[in-house]
Amino acid sequence: MAVLSAGGIGSGLDTQAIINALMDYERRPLRLLEQRQQEYQDQISAYGKLKSSIDSFKSAMDGLNSIESFQLFKSTLSNELDGSGNSTEGVLTVTADKNALQGSYAVSVNEIAQKHKMSVGAQYADTDTFGVGGFKITLNDASSTEIDLGDISGMTLSDVRDAINSHANNDDNLTATIINGTLGQQLILTSTETGTDAAIASVTGTSNLVADGVSTLNKSASGATIVDLADLDASITVDGVDVSSATNEFNSVIDGLDITANKIGSATLDISRDEAGVKEAVNNFVNGYNGVISKVRELRGGDLSNDSTLRTIESQLRGILNTGSTTTSGAFSHLSQMGITTNKDNGQLTLNSTTLTDAMNTNFAAVAELFGNTTDGYASRFYNLANSMLDSTDGLLASRTKGLNSSVDRLQDRQLDMEYRLALVQKRFENQFNALDGLMSQMNSTSSYLTQQLAAF
């Protein structure tokens, strides 16, 4: 419950204002404590921003810190023709990984993988039912899976369709559908997957239609084939070598290449080194380094002014930058030979793309070694440095942040103690001024009484 104070009635003084002024003076140490606590919080936040910059720099090293990182290749298609010999695009889709080799290939797409589809029986009215007899589908998979409906007497074509789709052995192997034609309903079976191995091997049935009495369900032995078995697998020819696949994917035909056949036709496939990808990775390194330097200098002029940790970070980065690399090839030893130089004014790196291109053309393997050598490469050394700084247990940033958090905790404890003491001080002031006010009130009453008595004489 709040306590209302009406001090000063007896004394005529604004005792509450006096108490507030006294407490404002008493709270000076608390305000300094809160200010220091906020400074620590700002420094913790600043270290969080610095951590983010270093983490981005570390991520940039992922594209450079091994020789394999430089094994980037690209695929180019030319002379694309469709099945009729006309110019076209999109015959193939090709992606290359680090295991690819530079080369040129003549590729023809002969067949596109298809799903097996067949029309079963004649066309029936939706109310026609089957007489006594069985119905069985055998798949072309390794187990020769059978979808045996058993006796289908009394079932309509829709019932047969539903029974096929829900059969225990039909593990999404095929789909039965009905097309409503001019002459009635037609049952269509379609394999779920492409290729011969997913095809329908046979359809057998012995039931006669009640309304027909003559035509069997399996009117044409294995049904009327809409897509022939011979056309189900995809087929391509690479430099005169024929290759088939149950799907349109050819992922082991040429080392390091994933090939997808999109349509019948032909093309020339060229695999070359992806220099643009390498340049992008190097540029990401430069941007990542500059991001750290920029953040360090920004914080040095702000929340982390005079912080020795920032000087340590920048010194360690410069130390790696200025130390040559003794890679196995020995052709290049400094980043300046790659076109990467340091701006003396702001400490940031600049990249001369022409110099980098010349170095790659002169000795690509040496460029890869300079960056990606796991022992002495620049990317590996920078990656390891960033990783050590970001270590959540013993890292430079973690240690500094833990120290600041401990300081904040101590200040919070002191703040609680100080606030408790200030509450006692304020209570003492209030009691003292209330007593003074009461005393002054008594004195005023006595003075008035004496004045009245003297006036009576």
Residues 224, 238 share a domain: no
Look up the domain containing 127 and give its range: 115-231
Apex 405 CA angle, 399 and 411, nearest 5: 140
**Are 104 and 131 part of one and the same domain?**
no
Q: Are residues 154 and 262 in the same domain?
A: no
Give the end-to-end CA distance of the chain in Å, rounded to a whole number. 51
Same-domain status, 300 and 392: yes
Considering 244, 273, 302, which residue would you say is the last residue of a domain? 273
The count of structural domains within the chain is: 3
In a domain, 389, yes or no: yes
Mean pLDDT (the chain, rounded): 85
- Same-domain status, 336 and 354: yes
Q: Are residues 143 and 283 in the same domain?
A: no
Condensed to tens digits (0 to 9), the pLDDT of residues 197-206 reads 888 888 877 6
Report pLDDT digits (tens) over 126-147.
Answer: 888 888 888 888 888 888 899 9
Listed residue (40, 16, 33, 22) closest to 401, CA to CA:
40
pLDDT in tens, 388-412: 999 888 888 888 888 888 888 888 8
Q: Are residues 127 and 238 in the same domain?
A: no
237 in the same domain as 226: no
Q: Tell me the average pLDDT across 324-342.
A: 83
Q: Is 264:110 a contact under the CB 8 Å cutoff?
A: yes
Q: What is the pTM of this model?
A: 0.60
For residue range 411-456, list pLDDT tens digits in order: 888 888 888 888 898 888 888 888 887 777 777 777 776 777 677 7
- pLDDT score recorded for residue 207: 61
Mean pLDDT of 69-96: 90
Largest CA distance in the chain: 149
H-helix or E-strand spanning residue 73: strand 73-82
| Structural domain includes residue 141 | yes
Question: What is the domain-level CATH number for residue 187?
Answer: 2.60.40
Asked if 295 and 379 sit in the same domain, the reply is yes
**Residue with more model confidence, 27 or 220:** 27
Domain end point (choices 380, 400, 420): 400
Q: Quick one: pLDDT at residue 219?
A: 39
pLDDT in tens, 155-190: 988 999 999 999 999 988 899 999 998 888 888 899
> Comparing C-alpha atoms, which of 116, 153, 120, 106 is closest to residue 134?
153
Name, in order, each residue with C-beta under 8 angstroms of 317's C-beta and a sequence gap of 6 or more: 289, 292, 293, 382, 385
DSSP 103: E
Q: Are residues 393 and 296 in the same domain?
A: yes
Query: φ and ψ at 99, to 5 degrees?
Result: -90, 0
List the Cα angle 376/378/382 in 5-degree steps: 105
Q: Measuring CA to CA, which residue among 226, 219, 217, 152 is closest to residue 191?
A: 226
User: Does residue 13 form part of some domain?
Assistant: no
